[in-house]
Structure 1
């Protein structure tokens, strides 16, 4: 867990933001920041109010979008399925 000590405040803010998002799997956080799911949980516990942490844990526990093993999305893909249609900051017209 020595990686947590090497995280900057900006990194910790981004980790919390990614962990709070429903569709960002823990594997994406691990890929980007090289920290385990347990380390993410410890960061969330430290950075959030107790009530907010409990609400977050209740929400993400067993959620298929947060755990790749429960997720049907292909392995290694951490982006929106519609992202290909959006390029150069231009949204495809409908």
Structure 2
């Protein structure tokens, strides 16, 4: 994918959203593919073209080996995020001031 293709294919809003989704830990590459049609390798190239070099390196280092970026690698009993303190909060065990 060339930068000219990216400019023609996506609006500025779409470009910003793709970058945001790529940086989010819990947004899998499959969600980006479903919404924008970019496979993982295309997302990597997209990020290379639309980020500063240092930002791209930082993103790649962060994403390498991250299981949450792939639906098949996720190890979750409950697919929804739940804070570990949620149970104690809902049982009203928070000390009152």
Question: TM-score under structure 1 normalisation?
Answer: 0.71
Q: Where do 1:15-54 residues align within 5 Å?
A: 15-54=18-57
Q: How many residues align?
A: 80
SS in 2 for 1:19: helix
For residues 1-94 of structure 1, the aligned pairs below 5 Å read: 1=1, 4=6, 5-73=8-76, 80-82=80-82, 94=90
Larger radius of gyration: 2
Q: Which runs of 5 or more residues in structure 2 are unaligned? A: 83-88, 91-97
Cα deviation, residue 70, structure 1: 1.6
CA RMSD of aligned residues (A): 2.4
Q: Which structure dedicates a bigger proportion of its chain to helix?
A: 2
Secondary structure of 1:62's aligned partner: coil
TM-score, normalised to structure 2, is: 0.69
For 1:7 and 1:16, the matched residues in 2 are separated by 12
TM-fit CA distance, 1:81:
3.7
